[in-house]
Amino acid sequence: MKQVPADSDKRSVLRRIFSVLDAFAGEDQEQTISSLCVRTGLPPATTHRILADLVEWGAVERTSRGHYRLGMRLWRLGWSVPSARSMRDIARPFLVDLHQATGELVALGSRDGDSVIIADLIGGRSALHGAHPPRRMPLTRCAPGLVLLAHLPGDELNEYLARRFESGGGREEFALRKTLGDIRRHGIAVTRGDRDGALGWIAAPIFDGDGGIRAAVGVVAPRERIATAAMAPPIVEAALGISRGLGSRRRVHQEQRQYA
């Protein structure tokens, strides 16, 4: 009988653990053993053992009714990554100033694959009466995601569009490309909910010292409170300030116009 090397077995265990953690990366913040089995392809007994170890270590938390979510220890480790700490430390004063200027929730978003993650959210009591945005959304579902898409290098954008429109995008792909071109031209993205009370966004890009897109800063509010002419200038100013803090010399421009 052929013996499996110990280091190979360890790598296999690690892959299973990482696959379980990665399964929490979807829009649903909580998972059950059944949903994790579907997402990872692992048997229930294996999934249960891995979850038990992750809960004990603090990477995952057990909630009521047999649900699980990512734990605070994993969050603290994430914020200990030097690039994440640098972004947070540089951006936070600008986020606070932007909230004071607009009175609305202010968000800092970063790209993770085909999603945007809300890495920081600032809002006072006056802004808490509305619904909060999810922490993870598809790139095309909100202004920060569209900003991140609009400023991707051409090859990365083409790869994303190829995945999104596997069978050919046609008019939908053409419309998205046009939207992204408008965002690059105007310097901001605006998205509105499809009904009263739904959340709308205005966002602007943040660039790093190499001139590449690093993140997006934006305001989120019920669609009836989205006022582009009043909100866009302080959002663009916040984006410029954070970009300068990251060493960027790239100029961000914005046409002073009201979006439909």
pLDDT-derived band at 38 (thresholds 50, 70, 90) equals very high
Residue with tokens 């993650």: 117
Mean pLDDT of 160-188: 90
Q: Class of the 81-245 domain?
A: alpha beta
pLDDT at 253: 43
Mean pLDDT of 85-113: 90
**Distance of alpha carbon 246 from its chain centroid, rounded?**
19
DSSP-derived pairing of the beta strands 213-222 and 115-122: unpaired
pLDDT at 83: 59
Residue 232 · residue 202 · CB < 8 Å: yes
pLDDT tens per residue across span 198-222: 889 999 999 988 889 999 999 999 8
pLDDT at 254: 41
7 versus 71: which is more confidently predicted? Answer: 71
In the predicted structure, residue 117 carries a pLDDT above the cut 90: no
Mean pLDDT of 131-157: 90
| Percentage with pLDDT > 90 across the chain | 46
CATH of 6-76, picked from 3.40.50.2000, 3.90.76.10, 3.20.20.70, 1.10.10.10, is 1.10.10.10
88 versus 253: which is more confidently predicted? Answer: 88
pLDDT at 84: 60
pLDDT-derived band at 151 (thresholds 50, 70, 90) equals very high
Same fold, 6-76 and 81-245: no
Least confident of 35-39, 139-143, 194-198: 194-198
pLDDT at 251: 57
Mean pLDDT of 72-83: 67
205 versus 112: which is more confidently predicted? Answer: 205
Element (H, E) at 90: helix 82-102
Angle at 147 between CA 181 and CA 258, to 5 degrees: 70
- Segments making up each domain of the chain, as ranges: 6-76, 81-245
In the predicted structure, residue 195 carries a pLDDT above the cut 90: no
Residue with tokens 């579902």: 141
DSSP assignment string, 152-190: S-HHHHHHHHHHHTTT--HHHHHHHHHHHHHHHHHS-EE
In the predicted structure, residue 89 carries a pLDDT above the cut 60: yes
- Mean model confidence pLDDT for the chain: 83
Three-state SS at 27: coil
Provide the whole-model pTM.
0.71
